[in-house]
Structure 1
Amino acid sequence: MFTPKEILRVVKEGRLIGKKFSTITTISIDTRTIKPGDLFIPIKGPNFDGQDFIPEALAKGAIVLDVKDGLKALQDLAAYHRNRFKISIVGVTGSVGKTTTKDMIASILSQEKKTLKNEENFNNEVGVPLTLLKLTKKHQVAVIEMAMQGLGEIDLLAKMVRPHIAVVTNIGEAHLEHLKSQRNIAKAKAEIFGCQTQKDYAVINADDEHFESLKLKTKSSKILTFGILEKADFRPKDLAGIKLPVPGEHNIYNALAAIAVAKILKVKKSSIKNGLEKFRPSTNRWDVINRPDGVKIINDTYNASPQSMTAALKVLAWLKGRKIAVLGDMYELGGRTKAAHQRIGKLVRQLDIDHFISIGKLSKDMGATYHYTTKKPAIKKLRQLIKPGDRILIKASRGMHLEEVVEAIRNLC
């Protein structure tokens, strides 16, 4: 992958420590999985300093890149490596649905092409470069999800990824705590277009209220749209004959965005159908668990925003059987926190969900029938409520760790 000379040419202020190797094929930031001959780049996190693990890396036979800013070095090497490849690269961002859309795109493209995608939550300033560094000559296309919390973060990722096709799923309320307004969120998401040229493609949700502002921020002359309500290039009719394995209107949007990308890359209709029907969500995203007593648990605990919470509740209401909603706090909503939780609580009542449990401090404003600040008493109450055949939705922001509730009721007591 890299020669020592290449590494030092890219990272000018660095120096290499350890055994000498003619080539380095793997770059790592984690000494737990490091192997002899790997390059270890020490980066700083909120609870650790990679510099403290240099002795362990050397003891395991790794080469260490001694540099002041390990994260920047990782990103610079990733950008350098990405520029070696002339393959099509798809970038995906948005407030809601970006992981599902990324996975749907990758599932379709992998029917015909060797496809690289970022796994799970490798979508930030650390995960994206680590993903790009996995590119090999065997890959024919890459699908890279890009996440952010503030302005400038997508721009940083886009400069590394340089997507030929940039997808924005939608603009929602997630990250209001940091960005204060949806207009700023749209501005931050539009940074994905920053490194594109007129020859590249932009794929945008025509139904999104920020569609026009996103469109104005594109550099591409090739803008494709998807939607249900407004006139768009890709609409529900393009899903005719395809059985999506995940329910909900929100997943129709995700699938239409994926189809748009597939059409740009001239993927066959049969591959689009096969890819979408074989699609499976990532961990803790609409993971349906079927118990022997007919209870269906919907584990959607990876994250939550008002937009995704609304979509999940509407699907729950559509299911047959008695319904239980177990909802937790939604984070990063800033000044809209109280109102957003109240709005979700009102929706639960409008949808006639049979039982409503909320967990956390913020979710108290949902006005649930049963509210608990911690998970343990909520689990106890949930176990008392469950009857054979129930449909149970469990959803909250990542920091709530409601997958613990899922595990507590996964099996019959």
Structure 2
Amino acid sequence: MSKILVIGAGNAGRPAALLLHYLGNEVLVSEIKKFEELPPKAKKKIKKMKKMGIKFEFGHHNPKSLDWAEKVFISPSIPTNSEIVKIVKKSGLEIITPEEIGKILGKFINMPMVGVAGTDGKTTTTNMIYYLLKDKYSTLVFSSLQDSLVIEGLAEIVVNQDYKDKEFAVFELPHGTIRMVKGLELSVGVLTNLTPDHLDEFDGYWDYVKRNFLVKDLVHKNGLLVFNSDDPIIYKLKNSVNKEIVFYGLGKPQKIKYKSKVYSFDGKKPKPDVTAKDIVLEGLDGSKFKAVVNEIPTVICENCGELLCKCGEFKRRYVGPFEKNIKLQIPGIVNIENSLATITVGLALGLKMKYIKEKLENFKGIKGRFEKIGEIDGVKIYMDAAHNPESMEKVIGNLDVKGRLIISLDNPDTLTTRDKFRIGRILSKKADILICSAKNETTGEIDWNAAEEVARGAKECKTIITSNVRDSILKAIELSKKGDLILHIGPGVVNAYDNVKGDILDAIKK
């Protein structure tokens, strides 16, 4: 047993402390913020950890704690030029790295794994893949659907021993988690897209891109990477990867705008290995398309037939080509993209195309992703977790609404500040009425400036500002007519799912 000091009680420090304590170490967590300044979820987690025997100090980093400690873990979000990091390095104490935390996870979660990284589509794709696997294998799943703090959830899986008797694992890999799981070895790593988000946590867009692109380093030497071919950043970086890649996509080159720069394919056309043709969008009733699959590699060994090669002479099996008509129950072009990623992963893991089609056609979606909350006087009310400009544009871009589209938006900021003017501009192009809540559902703070910034961008439609989601939905219902659609979107659907859904249901009941 060692005495370990964990610097930082954030989304990396807490799970590290949890795992290190589980291994029998005495753990003290040092956090520079006062306890009262932390987000509600963090405070709730810390209270539980204290009951387990993990100690905390708040409001400062006490140098005397280094005299007590034998080892130190420094949360990767703490600047390398900060005073506490300098003191730790001078102390000569052994430093535990994020990679070592990943190896601890890998030691316990020792099974075939799929990891899904990227900006948008991670949660739905993760849970689609889980839906494919759960009837074939006893499968462990973790995504922001289960808990918005994925790395903390993975640590809790180990501590609670939920990994036992499991044969397969599927994880969402947000940018904060991916640097903490370097010790894991994935059979398949998925990268959905790389649009700008969470940039106040990074030294620019390319720093964010590099973080998410770390998924390539998590894949086993016999594994596969599954990349979205329509993303110009992924296309630009593909030649830097020394692992086998299968591309999926619609074959439609996307553009990414960041500040004054536009990233594009420069006239080139993406060539996906797995794509969709003859697409028919059926509004809220879903879509249908023909899945077209070229011959693609799998992670199955041709010699021994095993997913994790047992013979020591790995020879990659190939499958395809295939064509299969598929009808999805979940709406939107974005879910066709998610299903193409899922098809690719399913085939790579050795599942049959007929089985994949059957499962996708029975998949009814997940909570918080175009989830129907209710209907009142012929007005349908949905909510979706779209939270940045690109994801919002995809969600509303192909909506076919008989009446008017009334969008309710919770404050787009979380602990991350987003481009609210651009969000307002995008939403106003499709919405007939836009209602903006000033409440930051992550911090609980009312930020009228945030709502006003959205309204300034929303010049093409009527805009109303409220103090919370409940008032927004009440106003939306008041203004609605039979045949209209009320759609609530924003990061609160993930970070405060129960609160946001509760507000919507309260408004409907009233």
TM-score, with length taken from structure 1: 0.75
CA contact (8 A) 1:90 1:164 kept: yes
Residue number in structure 1 paired with 2:274: 234
- Correspondences of 1:221-370 after superposition (within 5 Å): 222-228=244-250, 229=252, 230-236=270-276, 237-238=290-291, 240-291=324-375, 293-300=377-384, 302-316=385-399, 318-331=400-413, 337-345=419-427, 348-349=428-429, 351=430, 353-360=431-438, 361-362=449-450, 363-367=454-458, 368-370=461-463
1:89-138 CA-partner distances (Å, limit 9, x unpaired):
00111100100010011111113121110152355331232235545453
Residue number in structure 2 paired with 1:129: 155
Residue number in structure 1 paired with 2:93: none
CA 1:403–1:198: 2 relative to 1, 3 Å: same
State the shift of 1:39 in Å. Answer: 11
Residue number in structure 1 paired with 2:301: none
Aligned positions, number: 366
Q: Any gaps of 5 or more consecutive residues in structure 2?
A: 5-16, 19-23, 57-68, 76-95, 253-269, 277-289, 293-323, 439-448
CA contact (8 A) 2:436 2:465 kept: yes
Matched, 1:93 2:117: yes
Q: Any gaps of 5 or more consecutive residues in structure 1?
A: 1-7, 15-27, 30-37, 58-63
- Tell me the distance in 1 between the aligned counterparts of 2:418 and 2:491: 15
The two structures, once aligned, show a CA RMSD in angstroms of: 3.7
Matched, 1:410 2:433: no
- Tell me the distance in 1 between the aligned counterparts of 2:337 and 2:361: 15
1:274-333 CA-partner distances (Å, limit 9, x unpaired):
322333443322111342533211111x451111111121243x1333321122332379
- Tell me the distance in 2 between the aligned counterparts of 1:135 and 1:189: 27
- Correspondences of 1:10-409 after superposition (within 5 Å): 12-13=2-3, 46=38, 48=43, 56-57=51-52, 64=53, 79-80=103-104, 82-83=106-107, 87-119=111-143, 120=145, 121-131=147-157, 134=161, 136-148=163-175, 154-159=178-183, 161-179=184-202, 181-220=204-243, 222-228=244-250, 229=252, 230-236=270-276, 237-238=290-291, 240-291=324-375, 293-300=377-384, 302-316=385-399, 318-331=400-413, 337-345=419-427, 348-349=428-429, 351=430, 353-360=431-438, 361-362=449-450, 363-367=454-458, 368-375=461-468, 377-398=471-492, 402-403=500-501, 405-409=503-507
Residue number in structure 2 paired with 1:3: none
State the shift of 1:211 in Å. Answer: 1.6
CA contact (8 A) 1:194 1:219 kept: no
CA 1:54–1:184: 2 relative to 1, 3 Å: closer
CA 1:342–1:223: 2 relative to 1, 3 Å: same
- Tell me the distance in 2 between the aligned counterparts of 1:272 and 1:281: 15
1:65-86 CA-partner distances (Å, limit 9, x unpaired):
6797799899967743533565
Q: Which moved more, 1:162-171 or 1:47-56?
A: 47-56
Name the structure, 1 or 2, with higher relative contact order (CA <8 Å, separation 6+). 1
State the shift of 1:209 in Å. Answer: 1.0
Give SS of 1:91's match. Answer: strand
State the shift of 1:154 in Å. Answer: 1.7
Code of the aligned partner of 2:358: N
CA contact (8 A) 1:327 1:357 kept: yes
- Tell me the distance in 1 between the aligned counterparts of 2:25 and 2:55: 10
CA contact (8 A) 1:104 1:255 kept: yes
1:30-68 CA-partner distances (Å, limit 9, x unpaired):
xxxxxxxx99988678354978767855xxxxxx56797
State the shift of 1:168 in Å. Answer: 0.7
Give SS of 1:258's match. Answer: helix
- Tell me the distance in 2 between the aligned counterparts of 1:269 and 1:100: 20
1:346-374 CA-partner distances (Å, limit 9, x unpaired):
xx33x3x3333223333223325132141
